[in-house]
Amino acid sequence: MTYNANNEENLVVVQVSPQTDEMVETEMAGETDEVKSETKALIEAIKRRAQAEAESAGTLTRETYVNAVRQAREALEGNKLIERDRIENAFTLLQQEAEKNWHLLLKEVAELGDRFQDAAKAAWDAFNAPRPQR
């Protein structure tokens, strides 16, 4: 679903995921279309921001990994006393460890995205909770 937020100065087009659309439509069944659309846009903005932060961290991690592996390989290849199979084994172990760490990072990023969505839903539920009359 695409949502257009239009004020007098600019037009913003926001792509809303089916999950966000379903959640807002279910949780806000009695609200106006404008309130639902603004809520969907807010949730998607939070999700995009979280994803951008995670991808930025992931890019830095990949660059660090590539540089570390390259430096290790160059150092090992420069040392003529080390046997070739020991170099290959060390390089393989280093790659395996880096891949394991990379998969753990991706898992944590996915969990972070889920937490952001849960936090957005909880915030919306708290905002719409019935309040005692004064």
pLDDT classification of 99: cutoffs 50, 70, 90: confident
> Looking at the 3D structure of the chain, how many domains does it have?
1
Residue 15 belongs to domain spanning:
2-128
Most confident of 3-7, 54-58, 115-119: 115-119
In a domain, 133, yes or no: no
At residue 86, the pLDDT reads: 65
The answer as to whether 134 is a domain residue is: no
Which residue has better confidence, 76 or 7? 76
Report pTM.
0.41
Other CB atoms closer than 10 Å to residue 17's CB: what's the count? 14
pLDDT of residue 103: 87
Q: What is the pLDDT confidence band of residue 73, given thresholds at 50, 70 and 90?
A: low
Whether 124 maps to a domain, the answer reads yes
Residue 84 lies in a domain: yes
Asked whether residue 20 is domain-assigned, the answer is yes
pLDDT, residue 3, reads: 45
End-to-end CA distance of the chain: 40
Let me know if residue 39 belongs to a domain.
yes
As beta bridge partners, residue 6 has 11
